[in-house]
Amino acid sequence: MSAAAPAAAPRVAVMGAGAIGTWMGAALAEAGVDTTLVARGAHLQGLRQQGGARLLGPDGERTVPVRAVATAAEAGGPVDVVIAAVKAHDLVGAAPAMAPLLHDGTVVVAAQNGIPWWWFHGTGDPGRTLAAVDPSGTVAAALPPACALGSVVYLGASIAAPGAVDTRPEAGLILGEPDGTTSPRLELVASLLERAGFPVRRTTDIRAEIFTKLMGNASINLMSVLTRAGLGTMVNDAGTGPIIERLMREITEIAAAAGHPVRLSVEERIAVTRRLGDHKSSTLQDLEAGKRLELDALGAAVVELADIAGVAAPTLRAVYATADLQARSLGLR
């Protein structure tokens, strides 16, 4: 009997290669992983003109050769791993466009902030959906929740110029299966990202990790729409600091009621925020750039989960409603 042929090397595509996606894809390519970036606009042109991604960071600057295309159809067929790095509110449009990248076993790493479309997959209530993140069911139809691998991204990055990304290494990445198992595909994705130089932690409760990050995103980001202030200014202010603390306490209450208690205390999370200084939240950066704001997955979906869990969350509801009205008045919804 002849020996079995070795498994083919995995192919990866990054859908929505902005700052974080470009960094992840370039690092994978630099580590020898067959990687394609799906980007657009001036950033795509910069990537092509340079022959790759220019990465700027604490250790200097380098250009990493990596393939960049405008559409998934140009990626050369299905891949084994798709890193979905588009903003959560862009996923309704982007999900159907990913079809050329998918085969029956493709893993879709959901690298968005906030509550994801697959939230109820692997639970006792798999048929439930969240209107805030997938109102028409378009995302679930294009990306069946069974293909999703949950992730939480703790990396800082911004587009410094077309084709160039300013990177700020932070805590790294957390990966977990929606059903809490430790699977071969989880290990595959984790090992690829570790090979690319990212710290990766595996978890059996990815929802608790999502709620832990939401302690910041659903408080700091929403408040930054109202105050237009940096993190340090808001948490240290005598007026807004207590509001942020109340928001974080309500998020922990929702998480506990949903069965996924967070791993940090409110005091610990505020201390982390203070250490970040007066950094601007990603939502404030989008507001200042005139981009659509990521309020559905960070605000509306959390309010929806509060309703499901029977949690009052009055501060969250008031802050989200005010931020939403502000965004609509600016044409950013």
- What is the predicted pLDDT for the residue at 1? 33
* pLDDT tens track for 25-39: 999 999 999 999 999
3 state SS of 286: helix
- What is the predicted pLDDT for the residue at 7? 58
Domain ranges of the chain: 11-204, 208-328
Mean pLDDT on 306-330: 97
Residue 270: its H or E element:
helix 266-275
Burial, 289: exposed, middle or buried (Cβ in 10 Å; 0-12, 13-18, 19+)? exposed
Residue 273: its H or E element:
helix 266-275
Q: Which sign, positive or negative, has the C-alpha torsion 238, 241, 247, 251?
A: negative
- What is the predicted pLDDT for the residue at 312? 98
The contacts of residue 213 (CB under 8 Å, 6+ apart) are 113, 152, 154
Mean pLDDT on 35-46: 97
Here the contacts of 324-333 (C-beta below 8 Å, separation 24 or greater) are: 324/295, 324/299, 324/300, 326/225, 326/226, 327/225, 327/287, 327/293, 327/295, 330/287, 332/286, 332/287, 332/290, 332/291, 332/292, 332/293, 333/292, 333/293, 333/295
11-204 to CATH, choices 3.40.50.720, 3.60.21.10, 3.90.550.10, 3.40.366.10: 3.40.50.720
Mean pLDDT on 163-181: 94
Distance CA 15, CA 72 (A): 8
Residue 6 has pLDDT above 50, yes or no: no
Mean pLDDT on 97-112: 96
Mean pLDDT on 44-51: 96
Angle among Cα 132, 108, 193 to the nearest 5 degrees reads 120
Q: Establish whether domains 11-204 and 208-328 are of one fold.
A: no
3 state SS of 171: strand
82 with 98: CB under 8 angstroms?
yes
Instruction: Provide the annotated active-site residues.
Output: 213
CATH topology of domain 208-328: N-(1-d-carboxylethyl)-l-norvaline Dehydrogenase; domain 2 (1.10.1040)
Global confidence as pTM: 0.94
For the chain, give the mean pLDDT.
94
Residue 112 has pLDDT above 60, yes or no: yes
- What is the predicted pLDDT for the residue at 217? 94
Q: Nearest-CA neighbor of 139 among 75, 81, 90, 80? A: 90
Angle among Cα 215, 217, 221 to the nearest 5 degrees reads 130
